[in-house]
């Protein structure tokens, strides 16, 4: 197949989308492991190209689609509603992508719009978001070095690490193998 310039400096967004779709066809565990390795092994420039290409939205949509599966809603408490707004910067057009994680009645869901008043807003660049979502970034270090900005309820921010089952991190409550074990 001959090389065709696509305006992305040799980066082919269509090929990237085909790889993502191929990975998405595998089981979620394979997808997470492949995603973690893909982000870890990619040069920062390639990740930047990806997050400034047309593939950005499907990549973000896929991550946020999986996000509720990584949330331990019990951290929020029964009957409470918690919304966290995610502002992912660095789009090619200078705008931001905004998603919202809503935890309500013990269940988590994500949306592309802000439907519930957020108690916490997390703002970060697209590449940093990929690193965070894949377990290739330490959230505390990213916060203290300014790569992640938090605004809103500091108590919610303090619970973030407990709320998410981060890739590669041991889950002490996973006694039954599916991440829903209990330490009570």
Residue 174 placed within a domain:
no
Residue 6 placed within a domain:
no
* pLDDT value of residue 22: 60
Residue 181 placed within a domain:
no
Residue 172 placed within a domain:
no
Q: Please state the domain count of the chain.
A: 1
Query: How far separated are the first and last CA of the chain, in Å rounded?
Result: 59
Residue 151 placed within a domain:
yes
- Using alpha carbons, list the distances in angstroms from residue 93 to 37, 55, 69, 96, 154: 28, 14, 31, 9, 31
Top-confidence residue, 164 or 137: 137
Q: Are 125 and 116 in contact (CB under 8 A)?
A: no
Instruction: Please say if the pLDDT value at position 5 is more than 90.
Output: no
Residue 170 placed within a domain:
no
Instruction: Please say if the pLDDT value at position 184 is more than 60.
Output: no
Residue 176 placed within a domain:
no
* pLDDT value of residue 144: 92
Domain extent, residue 96, equals 12-165
Instruction: Please say if the pLDDT value at position 177 is more than 60.
Output: no
- Domain of 20, CATH number, reads 3.30.1050.10
* pLDDT value of residue 171: 42
User: What mean pLDDT comes out for the span 39-52?
Assistant: 91
Average model confidence (pLDDT) across the chain: 78
Instruction: Pick the range with the lowest mean pLDDT from 5-19, 75-89, 104-118.
Output: 5-19
Q: What is the pLDDT of residues 9-24, one digit of tens each?
A: 567 777 776 766 666 5
Residue 171 placed within a domain:
no
């Amino acid at each position: 197949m001959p090389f065709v310039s696509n305006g992305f400096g040799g980066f082919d967004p269509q090929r990237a989308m085909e790889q993502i779709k191929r990975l998405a066809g595998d089981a979620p565990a394979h997808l997470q492991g492949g995603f973690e390795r893909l982000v870890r092994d990619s040069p920062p420039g390639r990740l930047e190209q990806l997050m400034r290409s047309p593939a950005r939205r499907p990549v973000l949509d896929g991550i946020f689609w999986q996000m509720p599966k990584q949330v331990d809603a019990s951290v929020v408490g029964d009957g409470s509603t918690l919304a966290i707004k995610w502002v992912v910067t660095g789009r090619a057009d200078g705008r931001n992508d905004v998603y919202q994680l809503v935890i309500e009645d013990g269940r988590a869901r994500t949306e592309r719009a802000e439907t519930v008043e957020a108690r916490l807003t997390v703002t970060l660049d697209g590449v940093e978001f990929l690193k965070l979502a894949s377990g290739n970034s330490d959230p505390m270090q990213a916060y203290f070095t300014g790569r992640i900005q938090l605004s809103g309820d500091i108590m919610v921010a303090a619970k973030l690490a407990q709320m998410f089952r981060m890739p590669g991190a041991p889950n002490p409550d996973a006694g039954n193998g599916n991440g829903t074990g209990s330490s009570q």
